[in-house]
Amino acid sequence: MFSFFEILDLLGTLAFAISGALAGRERRLDLFGMTILAFATAIGGGTIRDMMIGFTPVMWLTNLSYFYVTLIGVAMAIVFYKKFNVLRYSLFLFDTIGIAVFTLIGIEKGMRIGLHPVICVTLGTITACFGGVIRDILANKIPIIFRKEIYATACILGGGMYYFLHYFQLQKDVIYIATAGTIMIIRALSVKYKWSLPFAHD
């Protein structure tokens, strides 16, 4: 049986795999290209995080669940493509779920080895965002994290919520749900109301 934490991890992997596969479909890549983009999106951030903290071999090399879940994500993106009414909204949905879940994963990984809260939130943000960075670079797009949109900022604020609730020693499941919900709500509202960070020259 998987723990709640492991289920969250696999859910994030699935969400990012679908996001990557849909991005490949949008760029008219073939099946191999879609699969590579899905893997890069699903495991890219976690791979960078594990290498930074010296956790090797990285998670997907020792746990085939990530491999299988990513392939399932690719299959879902192909089979249910027509069910995703508008591609960009589907990309947004799965990308938002992915960053929410992976922020939690990164924070927890940092806490387990006793890192400072600021570093843990940084690890969470890297885990959440850098798979998308790799996806966008491979798809020949400027990564969302480098644009004006609220993206990494949502992960950082979600990390702050995590430690705020952790200070009051609430149950882990409550903290997970509240943190993920905070990130998803901030991301959704920022897109709906066009919130953004200022350009440097502004």
List the pLDDT tens digit at each of the 202 positions of the chain: 677 778 878 888 999 999 899 999 989 999 999 999 999 999 999 999 999 999 999 989 999 999 999 999 999 998 887 776 566 677 788 889 999 999 999 999 999 999 999 999 999 999 999 999 999 999 999 898 887 678 999 999 999 999 999 999 999 889 999 999 999 999 999 988 988 877 666 5
3 state DSSP class of 100: helix
Which pair of tokens denotes residue 190? 């920022």
Q: What Rg do the C-alpha atoms of the chain give, in angstroms? A: 16
The answer to whether 44 touches 134, Cβ cutoff 8 Å, is yes
Which pair of tokens denotes residue 151? 């993206």
Residue with tokens 């049986």: 1
Query: Would you kindly state where each structural domain of the chain is located, as residue ranges?
Result: 4-192
**pLDDT, position 145:** 85
The answer to whether 15 touches 101, Cβ cutoff 8 Å, is yes
3 state DSSP class of 196: strand
CA atoms of 118 and 128, how far apart (whole Å): 15
CA atoms of 24 and 49, how far apart (whole Å): 24
**pLDDT, position 9:** 85
**pLDDT, position 148:** 66
Distance of CA 119 to the CA centre of its chain: 17
CA-CA-CA-CA torsion sign (180, 16, 76, 139): positive
The answer to whether 161 touches 179, Cβ cutoff 8 Å, is yes
